[in-house]
Amino acid sequence: MRRFKKILVANRGEIAVRVMRACRELGLPSVAVFSEADRTALHVRVADEAVAIGPAPSRESYLRVDRVLEAAAETGADAIHPGYGFLAENAAFARACEDAGIAFIGPTSESIEQMGEKTSARRLAVEAGVPVVPGTLEPVAGAAIAREAARIGFPLMLKAAAGGGGKGLRLVAGPGELAAAVERAQGEALSAFGDDRVYLERAIVKARHIEVQVLGDHHGAAVHLFERECSIQRRHQKVVEESPSPFLTPELRAHMGALAVALVKRIGYRNAGTLEFLVGEDREPYFLEMNTRIQVEHPVTEMVTGHDLVQLQIRIAQGEPLPFAQEDLEQRGHAIECRIYAEDPDRGFLPSPGRLLALRAPGGPGLREDSGVYEGFEVPVHYDSMLSKLIAHGATREAAIQRMRRALAEYKILGVRTTLPFVDRVMRHPDFVAGDFDTSFVARLAAEPDRADEELWRIGVAAAAIRLLEDRRAAQHAPQPAEAAGSAWTRAGWRSQLGNRL
């Protein structure tokens, strides 16, 4: 077992700040790396030290393995936490850290290779007895794509083999859409991952997207920390997450947790990871993929279990055993997370960069805000547009929803457009409140009229009608101008002018 001296955080934004806070609570100094665009970013201010690593484009800064390692050597950091995104699931980066004698706070490079490649992960899941969505276990190309599509049947999902984050992912409803979908998916995958290989899966209709948080240590122990419901998605990107899932029964929850642990133990996985499943209307779970890193939505698990996942990541990387067994873990209450983006919901969620002229975060019991910005910060155009994550915890799901509504009403951001109105609309939708939704929820919501806007319109019309009636009553009792008294023509003109003003 070793004790780290200093941890470099190879990321930016809210996750970098989150990791640095965990380091501080463990008494460990932290190092920030930053691009030219992030010179005044919050994670740079929070860290104990900061090192510039290149220009604004991520490929010239945050994705430069050599510059990140040079920053670690320069500052004497003996461990690197990758956060999520950027280099977090890059096996070559993990291997470079291992070769340099720097601890990578995550799984081994071998585990990242095994589980990061989606078709490899599916094969390992089958070997561990974990059911997978029917499809191909290897990438397919050329004429084989059409043959396999006919065998699997439509609708189907076309996926990038090296994919993640919704990139290189297409729903194909029928044979006529296949060729165009392949071209788009391969082009997007090549641009995002440098790898245009794709594979096919049957599309599960009315599916729930449910993931299981796992931890494994260096001593052979592994546990799951229950599930997160992630079905509220926009273009395959999660926007609202919660735990527990309102869809799972206690029996299904235990079954899915056991499946996740079986796969983790099968591959000797260490550190934090997440297994993603699709669950159909028949409540049959199918393994999708594994994320070999901390997840954006990890706070909801922390809120319901009471365990700090980032601190556990660091402790596991130091060689410490897991501090609990499966039977020691339980879910307490209910937690919901809303992701807040600098995007305009009224314009197709277009990014809305700019200066935050005013920022007031909500507070009070049961709330947590994980943020990477501050008032006066210039939101850059170069990176993901997420500003913060808002998490509400309550004794029940209903209490958590009510707390989230209150928090969203308190949250004020001026200077950029945000998704605050959109997630508030989700929190008030009767289907969400009832727990009756699936991965198509956001698409259906976009097609519905905004009930809040309709109500405001009705209130506005009613108010205008009342004002008009009051003005007309006042006009009937108002004295007429003296010059109008002697002429019917001038009296008519006066009434006409008064009517125009009404």
Structure confidence by residue, pLDDT tens digits, 394-419: 999 999 999 999 999 999 999 999 99
**pLDDT surpasses 80 at 456:** no
- Rounded average pLDDT over 337-350: 95
Q: Are strands 343-344 and 103-104 parallel, antiparallel or unpaired?
A: unpaired
Tokens matching residue 9: 């955080």
What is the structure's pLDDT at 479?
54
What is the structure's pLDDT at 494?
44
* 205-332 topology per CATH: D-amino Acid Aminotransferase; Chain A, domain 1 (3.30.470)
**pLDDT surpasses 70 at 234:** yes
What is the structure's pLDDT at 461?
52
Helix or strand run (H / E) with residue 192: helix 178-193
Q: How far apart are CA 226 and CA 214, in angstroms?
A: 8
Fold match, 205-332 / 338-448: yes
Our answer to whether residue 293 is catalytic in this structure is: yes
- Rounded average pLDDT over 273-301: 96
What is the structure's pLDDT at 497?
47
* 7-105 topology per CATH: Rossmann fold (3.40.50)
**pLDDT surpasses 80 at 286:** yes
**71-80, 199-208, 260-269, range with the lowest pLDDT:** 199-208
What architecture does CATH give domain 134-202? 2-Layer Sandwich (3.30)
What is the structure's pLDDT at 446?
86
- Rounded average pLDDT over 263-292: 96
* Count of Cβ atoms closer than 10 Å to residue 331 Cβ: 17
- Rounded average pLDDT over 122-131: 94
- Indicate the average pLDDT of the chain: 91
Long-range contacts of 468-471, Cβ-Cβ distance < 8 Å, separation of 24 or more: 468/502, 471/502
Please name the amino acid found at residue 371: S
Rg (CA), the chain: 27
For residue 451, name the pLDDT band (cuts at 50, 70, 90): low
- Rounded average pLDDT over 1-11: 96
Structure confidence by residue, pLDDT tens digits, 19-31: 999 999 999 999 9
What is the structure's pLDDT at 159?
92
Q: How far apart are CA 341 and CA 344, in angstroms?
A: 9
What is the structure's pLDDT at 128?
94
Tokens matching residue 428: 């008030």
What is the structure's pLDDT at 236?
84
Contact (CB, 8 A) for 405 and 427? yes
Structure confidence by residue, pLDDT tens digits, 97-113: 999 999 999 999 999 99
Highest CATH level, class, for 338-448: alpha beta
- Residue with the bigger pLDDT between 192 and 420: it is 420
What is the structure's pLDDT at 359?
98
- Rounded average pLDDT over 228-250: 96
Tokens matching residue 35: 């691009």
**pLDDT surpasses 80 at 175:** yes
**pLDDT surpasses 60 at 94:** yes
Contact (CB, 8 A) for 388 and 340? yes
Structure confidence by residue, pLDDT tens digits, 415-446: 999 999 999 999 999 999 999 999 999 999 98
- Residue with the bigger pLDDT between 488 and 416: it is 416
Complete DSSP assignment for 217-246: -TTS-EEEEEEEEEEEEETTEEEEEEES-S
Distances (CA, A) of 84 to 105, 204, 242, 310, 496: 12, 27, 19, 12, 67
> Out of 122, 197, 293, 397, which one is annotated catalytic?
293
- Rounded average pLDDT over 318-334: 98
Q: Domain locations in the chain?
A: 7-105, 134-202, 205-332, 338-448, 461-501
**pLDDT surpasses 70 at 501:** no
For residue 239, name the pLDDT band (cuts at 50, 70, 90): very high
What is the structure's pLDDT at 165?
67
For residue 472, name the pLDDT band (cuts at 50, 70, 90): low
